[in-house]
Structure 1
C-alpha cells in the first residue's frame, strides 16, 4: 500500500477537489515538486488534517497557505537572519522551502536536496516559539500517514493531536478565489493571535490550539481596525 493510499484510508478526501495546472505551478516556483505532494494536493485540495496541519496548496485560500505565495520566501529570509544571529537552524536556509503550517504556529519545510530531484526530499518541522527542530526521514505523505496514525510523535505537536479525529476538512468553497475585499487573513504565526488575546483579557495557554472563538474575535477586531 502506498503512503497516499494509507492516508486516504485514515482521512477520506473530499469529493471534488479543484484541479491544478502543475506546469504553471512549477514554472512559477522555478523547480519541480515531489510526485507524492502533487498526488496529495490533487486528491485533497486545500484544507486541514485533524483540524491542525495545513499543507500549502496552489489554491490556498489566503497567501499564508498558498504554495506559490510569499510565505516560503519570507521564511527563508527569517531563517537566514536566525542563523546569522546564532540561533539553531540545522540546514542551509536556502535549502528549506516552507510547505505547511500548524494551527499552533509550527512550520513544515521540505529539505530541497538534491534540488533537481524532488522525490527523495525529506521534511523538517521547527518549534513555533523555541529552538527545537524535528526531521522526518521520509516523504510528506509518509509523514502525514505516520503522524495521524499515531506511529510518529513530533515533539513540537501537542499530545492532544493523537486524540483528535483524523478527518480532513476542506477550506471554504472556491478556495482558489482571492480573499474578499476587506477580509483579514490569519497570520502564519498564531503567536500574533495569542499575544492579542492575552492583551485583551482572554485566558489562553501558551501551547495547543487557539479556540475558534478567539480567532473569530481577533479577525473581527483587526477587520474593524
Structure 2
C-alpha cells in the first residue's frame, strides 16, 4: 500500500464519520502514517507507548480510541479534530501479530461559548480559545524566557499573547492563522509589532504605543497596506475571528470546527 494523503482520505472514509477501526497490512510503516497525520492535524497525544497506557487518558483525551483494542494496543497516538478522535499506531490482532492500525471515534466537542458581550471584562479569552480549539495537549513552551525576549525588543508584551505562545507553541489556528513565537518587527517604524499572519499576507499586529501592553489594540495590516484597528486584546481577537461569522476577518465561513495545528515534530 502506497501511503499518500489520498490514501489516508480513503481509509478515513471507509471508517466513516461514526468511527471504527481497521488493521492495516503488516508491511505498512506505522511511522509514515503517523507523519502523514501529523502534517494534517499537528502534534498528537500519545495514549499508549510500548503497551503501557497513559494513566491520565480519559474521555476528554481520546480514551474512546482504545476501546476496540481492549489490552492489545502497543502504541497509539491521537489527534482531536472537530467532532472526531483520530488515532494510529500498532496493536495485536486476533492471532497476536503486531500490525499497524487506524481508528476513529466520536468526540464530544466542548460546548462553544457564546461570544462575550462587549465590555465583559471577566472573560478569560485564552481559556476560551483552548475550549474552542479542543486543545488537550500540555503547554508546549512553558519555559519561554520572556524577560530576554522583551529586553531584546525593548518593550513588554501582552500577557495573553505570552500565554498563547506558552500553551500552543509553534503552529496555526485552523491551519491558517500562524502564531508568531515572538513578534516580528519589520513594521515597527509604523508603530506596529506583528504577532500572527496568514498565507494571504495579512499581518496581525498591535499598535505598540508606550502604554500598558495589555491594552494595546489589535491592528490588521492587509496585503494592500490598509490598517484595520480593533479595540480588543489578542486572544479575544482570535476567538472572535474563529467563531463570529460577522467579523470582517472571520474564519467561521470556512471552518465548522476549530483546532490548532502544532508544527512541532512528534516523538
Considering the TM-score relative to the shorter chain, is it more than 0.5? yes
Cα shift readout 1:135-159 (whole Å, capped 9, x = no counterpart): 211000000011111255225x677
Tell me the CA shift for residue 97 of structure 1.
Answer: 1.1
Is the aligned partner of 1:72 residue 2:185?
A: yes
Partner of 2:212: 117
Give the Cα–Cα distance (whole angstroms) in 2 for the partners of residues 116 and 40 of structure 1.
21
RMSD: 2.3
Q: Kindly indicate whether the alpha-carbon contact (under 8 Å) linking 2:197 and 2:204 is maintained by their aligned counterparts in 1.
A: yes
Tell me the CA shift for residue 160 of structure 1.
Answer: 4.3
The structure that is strand-richer by fraction is: 2
Tell me the CA shift for residue 25 of structure 1.
Answer: 1.1
Cα shift readout 1:58-91 (whole Å, capped 9, x = no counterpart): 4xxxxxxxx3xxx422x345xxxxxxxxxxxxxx
- Structure 2 residue corresponding to 1:96, chosen from 185, 192, 202: 192
Long gaps (5+) in structure 2: 1-122
TM-score in terms of structure 2 length: 0.48
Is the aligned partner of 1:9 residue 2:103?
A: no
Q: Kindly indicate whether the alpha-carbon contact (under 8 Å) linking 2:241 and 2:251 is maintained by their aligned counterparts in 1.
A: no
Tell me the secondary structure at the aligned position of residue 134 of structure 1: strand
Long gaps (5+) in structure 1: 59-66, 78-92, 175-225
The structure that is helix-richer by fraction is: 1
Is the aligned partner of 1:168 residue 2:263?
A: no
CA 24–50 in structure 1, closer or farther in 2 if over 3 Å, else same: same
RCO higher in structure (CA 8 A, sep ≥6): 1
Tell me the CA shift for residue 12 of structure 1.
Answer: 3.1
CA 158–16 in structure 1, closer or farther in 2 if over 3 Å, else same: closer
CA 152–47 in structure 1, closer or farther in 2 if over 3 Å, else same: farther
Which structure 2 residues correspond to residues 1-225 of structure 1 after superposition, within 5 A? 1-13=123-135, 14-18=137-141, 19-58=143-182, 67=183, 71-73=184-186, 75-76=187-188, 93=190, 95-113=191-209, 115-128=210-223, 130-150=224-244, 152-155=246-249, 160-161=253-254, 163=255, 165-173=257-265
Tell me the secondary structure at the aligned position of residue 213 of structure 2: coil
Q: Kindly indicate whether the alpha-carbon contact (under 8 Å) linking 1:50 and 1:164 is maintained by their aligned counterparts in 2.
A: no
Tell me the CA shift for residue 118 of structure 1.
Answer: 0.6
Partner of 2:119: none
Tell me the secondary structure at the aligned position of residue 138 of structure 1: coil
Give the Cα–Cα distance (whole angstroms) in 1 for the partners of residues 138 and 153 of structure 2.
28
Task: State the aligned residue count.
Answer: 142
Tell me the secondary structure at the aligned position of residue 56 of structure 1: strand
Cα shift readout 1:104-132 (whole Å, capped 9, x = no counterpart): 1100110112x24111011111222x254
